[in-house]
Amino acid sequence: MKKILSIVALTTLATSAYSYDYGYGSQNDSKRGYESSFGNKYEYDLSNPSDRIRYEIDPAAQLMDSIDVNPTRELERGLGQYGAGVYRD
């Protein structure tokens, strides 16, 4: 089972099909991630299974979330928006 999860994680990390484009900036300077309806930008969308796996193995993103004090995150959760890995502009 561990071997299968490792293969899935590596395969998921190797693909760029998961990324989203915020739609601003030039093509080369666009960021990957998820933008909530409140305008908060995240590296991962936890409603996406492959993003969830990547988030689980990204300690930096988890740390950023643990120190984030943005009050709108609870409102986003109430609306079913599960961004993770806060982007700091």
Euclidean distance between CA atoms 28 and 13, whole angstroms: 20
* H or E stretch at 44: strand 41-45
Tell me: pLDDT of 14 over 80: no
What are the phi and psi torsion angles at 88 (to 5°)?
Answer: -105, 120
Which pLDDT score, from 0 to 100, does residue 53 have?
Answer: 95
Cα gap 61→32, rounded to integer Å:
14
Contact residues for 69 (Cβ-Cβ < 8 A; gap 6+): none
Query: What's the average model confidence in pLDDT over 62-78?
Result: 92
Range of the domain at 39: 2-86
What value does the mean pLDDT of the chain take? 74
Please say if the pLDDT value at position 62 is more than 90: yes
Considering the entire predicted model, what is its pTM? 0.61
pLDDT in tens, 23-48: 433 333 345 688 999 999 999 999 99
Name the pLDDT band for 13 (thresholds 50, 70, 90). Answer: very low
Number of domains in the chain: 1
Which residues pair with residue 84 across a beta bridge? 44
Name residue, tokens 């899935």: 8
Distance between CA atoms of residues 28 and 38, nearest Å = 25
pLDDT at 25: 35
